[in-house]
Structure 1
């Protein structure tokens, strides 16, 4: 079955930013500065995120009714010339939107940036969805690994030592991630089986 046409990179990044913002605000309201800091420290894809990219996203989410913005003075007793700080929090519609996004497990969630963002919010993702994403990501990495190995065998004689080293590095990195994913998948399956056993065990009175 052919893969769906990939979204333009800018559109994908914008949708990932929306997902990440909604996820970070799920725990409580944040000011724009704190939100940008958390996006940069917790999610590598947004490490260089500028306010020029973040604030249009926040405004769009407010206009869509997914966020509410409240204004408060940055420093009580400070000069009134200072700009007020704006805190953002999820609305009921924003919570519903996040739950809908976190329930998705399609092929896009297996890609590099998408997977990293999804993984950051696995604690709020249902077990079966987590498992589908992990298995999909493993499949994607196994495809990549096969392509790397094929290219290496086909062109090894024409490659210089630096290109060979780079290709070997890519192969090693893919192999490590596949092993890591297999560990996560095994742990997820054990956790799911344990939960199922608890639900099916009869309750006995003391």
Structure 2
């Protein structure tokens, strides 16, 4: 399974853990969860849904709530299929929630893990946050070193772009430090309820 499809599987299972929904609603929620820069098309979403159904993690319900309407059409239109998590799907989501290794710290996966932190065990949250911070601190050191070596050869716009990237990573490290301190102190995050 590719990394991107693994992220999509995790996000789909997580969203359906809250409530069943049809593909259109699921796609809208995925785009909100994952951000517009990682928007998923129907051409990506539906094969993922079909795969999750085939693996037994999801079940399809056609025309839920109205058993007398044929599954093929409602008023001449195609019926909507609502996707619901199976017990195996709930178990798979729990397994994915408990993952806290290096994949969970990477740029692509971290956001999805973080989106479901409210359902994640505190110890797992701490491992993911600390792993992410360590990964970014390593990246920060590499960026500073590279910038120090090439500063004289860069034009002012490229230098400014490098500085912007450095500041973005520094800002995320500060944010992670705040989150880790909140988790350690079991205090409520800024502007929110306790986890």
TM-score (structure 2 length as normaliser)? 0.88
Instruction: Confirm or deny: 8 A CA contact 1:45 1:113 kept in the other structure.
Output: no
Aligned-partner Cα distance in 1 for 2:36–2:175: 20
Q: Return closer, same or farther for 1:153/1:31 CA change in 2, 3 Å cut-off.
A: same
CA shift for structure 1 position 43:
1.4
1:71/1:79 Cα in 2 relative to 1: closer, same or farther (>3 Å)? closer
Distance 1:174 1:103 in 2: 26
Please report the TM-score for the alignment, with normalisation by the length of structure 1.
0.84
Name the SS of the counterpart of 2:181 in structure 1.
helix
Q: Tell me the equivalent position of 1:3.
A: none
3-state SS of 1:15 partner: helix
- Distance in 2 separating the partners of 1:68 and 1:86: 10
CA–CA distance in structure 1, aligned partners of residues 147 and 38 of structure 2: 32
CA separation in 1, counterparts of 2:56 and 2:101? 26
Provide the aligned C-alpha RMSD in A: 2.0
Q: CA deviation at 1:79?
A: 5.7
Q: Report how far residue 62 of structure 1 moved.
A: 0.5
Query: What is the Cα deviation at residue 46 of structure 1?
Result: 6.8
1:81 shift after superposition = 2.0
CA pair 45-15 structure 1, distance change in 2 beyond 3 A: farther
**How many pairs were matched up?**
182
2:5 equivalent to 1:14: yes
Superposed displacement of residue 47, structure 1: 4.2
Runs of 4+ more than 6 Å apart: none
Look up the match of 2:148.
153
Q: Distance in 1 between matches of 2:24 and 2:84?
A: 14
Higher Cα Rg: structure 1 or 2? 1
| 1:88-137 per-position Cα deviation (integer Å, ceiling 9, x unaligned) | 01000000000011001000111111000100000010000000000000
Residues 39, 47 of structure 1: 8 Å contact kept: no
Q: Distance in 1 between matches of 2:161 and 2:45?
A: 34
Unaligned runs of 5+ in 2: 188-195
> What is the alpha-carbon distance in structure 2 between the residues aligned to residue 93 and residue 105 of structure 1?
21
Q: Is 1:80 aligned to residue 75 of structure 2?
A: yes
5+ unaligned residues in a row in structure 1: which ranges?
1-9, 193-206
Per-residue CA deviations over 1:23-74 (Å, capped at 9, x if unaligned) read 000011000000000000121277421101000000010011100100018x
Name the structure 1 match of 2:193. none
Name which of 16, 24, 27 aligns with 2:15: 24
